[in-house]
């Protein structure tokens, strides 16, 4: 059955890849919006827009804009909200941006969806909501009362708001707690991308906590497959839904840096630094709930995913 999907943040890493996947593998109509802000290199975002499938309809808009014209003329059936101000450390310097984009913008979007009768909204949350939680692996049922950054707090706000819209208006809301999504055409503010830049340019690399931190690195293709399966899943839930989108196999960041350097044939110039107070030592996703729901869990080995990223990097930056 054909439907129209609105993807916000379509010039972003996950939004772009989701749009490409759905336009090539379904008969759905894909509509996308993005404000193409300058949080990171806008050329990367513009290039993603240029590479969008020709059938994707793109609008250069902000989440806080009046979006009713898009919902009306495109007859939106379902929303996937991937637009947000990202970055844990950036939120310490620019807190107002996170309130504007992640809270005000999300409210405007989900309320507009309500007004136009949309009954299903998927939205990006984050593994950051687990904050200072020390029980591993992280389960969706764990307490999330200790966010360690304003970014995490805004994502918790999104989950609370989605819950309110579920119970008040009957909108099926599905939160996606992403764990370090990486891969080709990725975000240059993430460690693996920054390290690659610095290695190639012979620049000093800051490595926190002697590299003794672990991250659940999740390959982009696995992330997109999970979202697609949640989109086609029509099994109603008695409660708002939230799922970990993670690889359930944490990687020590020191080992990740070593692997990237070995693949490039370069020796890193490392400056050892302390971990930020907003950074947990380890993230680790329990994905049993996701697997029970859609019969799939991300499982790509980080060596395969990083190699794919490095191949893309070499081609993109010539």
List, in sequence order, the alpha helices (H) in 251-301.
253-264, 288-294
The helix (run of H) or strand (run of E) holding residue 45 is helix 42-50
CA atoms 202, 275, 262, 269: torsion sign? positive
CA 216 to chain centroid, in Å, comes to 13
Please say whether the beta carbons of 48 and 81 come within 8 A.
no
What DSSP string describes 159-184? Answer: HHHHHHHHHHH--EEEEEEE--EE-T
Give me the catalytic one of 130, 151, 192, 243.
151
Across 47-68, b (16+ Cβ under 10 Å) vs e yields ebbeebeeebbbbebbbebebe
Where does residue 139 rank: exposed (0-12), middle (13-18), buried (19+ CB within 10 A)?
middle
Please say whether the beta carbons of 294 and 233 come within 8 A.
yes
User: Catalytic annotation on 151?
Assistant: yes
Strands 29-34 and 57-60 turn out to be parallel
> How many other CB atoms are found less than 10 A from the CB of residue 235?
8
Enzyme catalytic residues? 151
């Amino acid at each position: 059955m054909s439907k129209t999907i609105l993807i916000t943040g379509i010039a972003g890493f996950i939004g772009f890849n989701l749009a490409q996947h759905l336009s090539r593998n379904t008969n759905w109509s894909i509509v996308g919006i993005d404000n193409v802000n300058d949080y990171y290199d806008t050329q990367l975002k513009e290039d993603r827009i240029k590479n969008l499938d020709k059938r994707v309809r793109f609008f250069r808009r902000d989440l806080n804009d009046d979006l009713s014209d898009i919902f009306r003329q495109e007859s939106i059936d379902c929303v996937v909200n991937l637009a947000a101000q990202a970055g844990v450390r950036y939120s310490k310097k620019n807190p107002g941006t996170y309130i504007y984009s992640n809270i005000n913008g999300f409210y405007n979007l989900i309320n507009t969806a309500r007004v136009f009768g949309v009954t299903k909204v998927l939205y990006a949350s984050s593994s950051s909501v687990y904050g200072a939680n020390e029980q591993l692996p992280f389960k969706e049922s764990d307490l999330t009362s200790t966010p360690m950054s304003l970014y995490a707090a805004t994502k918790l706000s999104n989950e609370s708001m989605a819950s309110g819209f579920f119970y008040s208006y009957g909108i099926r809301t599905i939160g996606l707690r992403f764990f370090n999504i990486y891969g080709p055409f990725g975000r240059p503010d993430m460690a693996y991308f920054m390290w690659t830049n610095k290695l190639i340019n012979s620049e000093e690399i800051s490595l926190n906590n002697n590299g003794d931190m672990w991250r659940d690195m999740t390959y982009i293709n696995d992330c997109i497959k999970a979202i697609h399966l949640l989109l086609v899943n029509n099994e109603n839930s008695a409660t708002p839904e939230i799922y970990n989108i993670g690889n359930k196999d944490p990687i020590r960041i020191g080992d990740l840096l070593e692997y990237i350097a070995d693949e490039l044939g370069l020796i890193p110039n490392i400056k050892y630094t302390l971990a930020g107070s907003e950074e947990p030592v380890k993230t680790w996703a329990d994905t049993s709930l996701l697997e029970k729901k859609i019969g799939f869990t991300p499982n790509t080995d980080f060596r395969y995913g990083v190699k794919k990223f490095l191949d893309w990097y070499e081609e993109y930056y010539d």
